[in-house]
Structure 1
Amino acid sequence: MAQSADKAMTEYQRLRRLVLAALISIIAVFLVFGASIHSENVHERIEWVGQMLILIGIGGRLWSTLYIGGRKSSEVVQTGPYSVTRNPLYFFSAVAAAGVGGQMGSVALAVAFGILCWVAFSIVIRREEGFLSAKLGRPYLEYVARVPRFIPNPSLYRDEEFVTFRPKLLLRTLKDGLAFFLSVPLFELIETLQNSGTIPVFFRLW
């Protein structure tokens, strides 16, 4: 039974990664022909903020993995990042995705990336919640009633003295997170090709 539960949760997590990868890939292809409307200085500042968001997103995902440690389908984790939001991995993934959008030098795109990820993750979250409600019962339902689904509430924060984790899961989360940084050289390459006239610019974003 435990192995079946772990397998189901692994499938949900795999779906999460596929949704995020597909979403970013589709939008990135579309944006090959787009550019920022801002001046070079503003453009670079937005890129810099985007890179900071990517770092925060990756750090937050690692922090979340330290606490969940593969236990999501077997017990209700309610400390650390899970004390302020029920889905910190999804939240920090959306933050990193916003940072990816910022690599085009567009505020609108950064916000759009974050919102689109939130919408896409909401589908996966609802499926997970149905599974966890049935698997973990009352303790999970009480947790749901107390802690917000997505946007963190810092006033709820609480921690524990010791945390155990699985190094393999932490490494996998790091590898997944570093994929966000691929957007940095990708958009730089696109900008170079646009400036040289190799790629035409059909639209500009704020």
Structure 2
Amino acid sequence: MALQEELNSQGAFLFKHRSNLPLLLLVSGILIKLYQEHTYVSHHPQSMLSGILESMAFVVGMLGLVIRAFTVGYTPKNTSGRNTDQGQVADSLNTTGMYSLIRNPLYLGNYLMWLGVAMLTGNVWFIAIFSLTFWIYYERIVFAEENFLRKKFGQHYLDWASKTAPFLPTSFRYKSPDTPFSWKKVLKKEKNGFFALFLVFFIFEASAEYAVNGTLRTEIDWLLIGTVASGIAYTILKYIKKYTGLLNEQGR
């Protein structure tokens, strides 16, 4: 198999199983966090610095979620969905909104969300290894997606790609979308990420506290409140999506 076909095949496979990388990060990160807390707690007691790190990590994660929400809220149906089972789907090419700045805003959002999680370990090497692994992993996914889009949209895609950076903007010529922003679509599509962000942060901190004190986290703070509130919101939105049409919009 030629390299181009091999990369495309790998990308298609990873696209269908792209939820596995966050799980690997979560397990690895928690193990590193537990090891560090158990090994160094007597030399590095809890301090204001750990609280600052947690807050910074959460801000980075929320920034990723905001990028995803802002992107998804302007996209029409079947262009930026979670098409895991059916593979690549694109009825039209997104070139406005966040897509007028970068070609892969959703993946940039994913990276920032999970970078926030990686930052919770406080381990520079883990953060570096995660970042490298993420971009190698998603490089192949992007390769497969761009190959699909190039075949489907031809010169239209090539013209857009030639002036739009893949991940980090090289210019800020923002082009407003023709479609209005849809909060319904954001609530329908991004409820998972909102709850997951709080839940993962809570699991990290609860695991660390158990490793240090041998007790489960019982302190009522912003993280616990956010986790419970986002969990309730997720459950309600999931019910609404499954049993009603309140979140449905034509063409979205």
TM-score of the aligned structures, taking structure 2 as reference length: 0.64
Structure 2: where are the runs of 5+ without partners?
1-12, 80-89, 216-252
Correspondent of 1:135 among 147, 152, 161: 152
Correspondent of 1:105 among 116, 122, 125: 122
Match of 2:139 in 1: 122
Identity of aligned residues (%): 23
List, as ranges, runs of 4+ consecutive aligned residues in structure 1 with deviation greater than 6 Å.
Answer: 36-39
Check the 8 A contact 2:93/2:157 in 1, yes or no: yes
Query: What per-residue deviation string (whole Å, max 9, x for no partner) do you get for residues 99-121 of structure 1?
Result: 11122334554454344323222
Q: What's the secondary structure of 1:130's corresponding residue?
A: helix
The 10-residue stretch of structure 1 (180-189 or 112-121) with the greater mean CA deviation from structure 2 = 112-121
Check the 8 A contact 1:86/1:148 in 2, yes or no: yes
Check the 8 A contact 1:47/1:104 in 2, yes or no: no
Match of 1:5 in 2: none
Match of 2:17 in 1: 15
Larger radius of gyration: 2
- How far apart are the structure 2 equivalents of 1:136 and 1:166? 28
Correspondent of 1:171 among 182, 185, 188: 188
What's the offset of the Cα at 1:130?
0.8
Structure 1: where are the runs of 5+ without partners?
1-10, 199-206
Check the 8 A contact 1:44/1:105 in 2, yes or no: no
The 10-residue stretch of structure 1 (118-127 or 152-161) with the greater mean CA deviation from structure 2 = 152-161
Query: What per-residue deviation string (whole Å, max 9, x for no partner) do you get for residues 13-56 of structure 1?
Result: 6533x144333234235425432777622222111100001111
Matched length: 188
Q: What's the secondary structure of 1:105's corresponding residue?
A: coil
- Kindly indicate whether structure 1 or structure 2 has the higher relative contact order, using CA contacts under 8 Å at least 6 residues apart: 1
Bigger proportion of residues as helix: 1
Alignment partner of 1:157 is 2:174: yes
Cα 1:134–1:164, aligned 2, differ >3 Å: closer, same or farther?
farther
Q: What's the secondary structure of 1:156's corresponding residue?
A: coil
Alignment partner of 1:67 is 2:74: yes
Q: What's the secondary structure of 1:67's corresponding residue?
A: coil
Check the 8 A contact 1:79/1:160 in 2, yes or no: yes
TM-score of the aligned structures, taking structure 1 as reference length: 0.76
Check the 8 A contact 2:69/2:190 in 1, yes or no: yes
What's the offset of the Cα at 1:169?
6.5
- How far apart are the structure 1 equivalents of 2:77 and 2:134? 23
In the TM superposition, 1:15-34 aligns within 5 A as 15-16=17-18, 18-34=19-35
Cα root mean square deviation, aligned: 3.0
Cα 1:44–1:29, aligned 2, differ >3 Å: closer, same or farther?
closer
- How far apart are the structure 2 equivalents of 1:85 and 1:193? 42
Match of 2:62 in 1: 55
Cα 1:108–1:183, aligned 2, differ >3 Å: closer, same or farther?
farther
- How far apart are the structure 1 equivalents of 2:170 and 2:195? 27
Please tell me the residue identity of whatever aligns with 2:108.
Answer: F
What's the offset of the Cα at 1:149?
1.1
- How far apart are the structure 2 equivalents of 1:165 and 1:135? 26
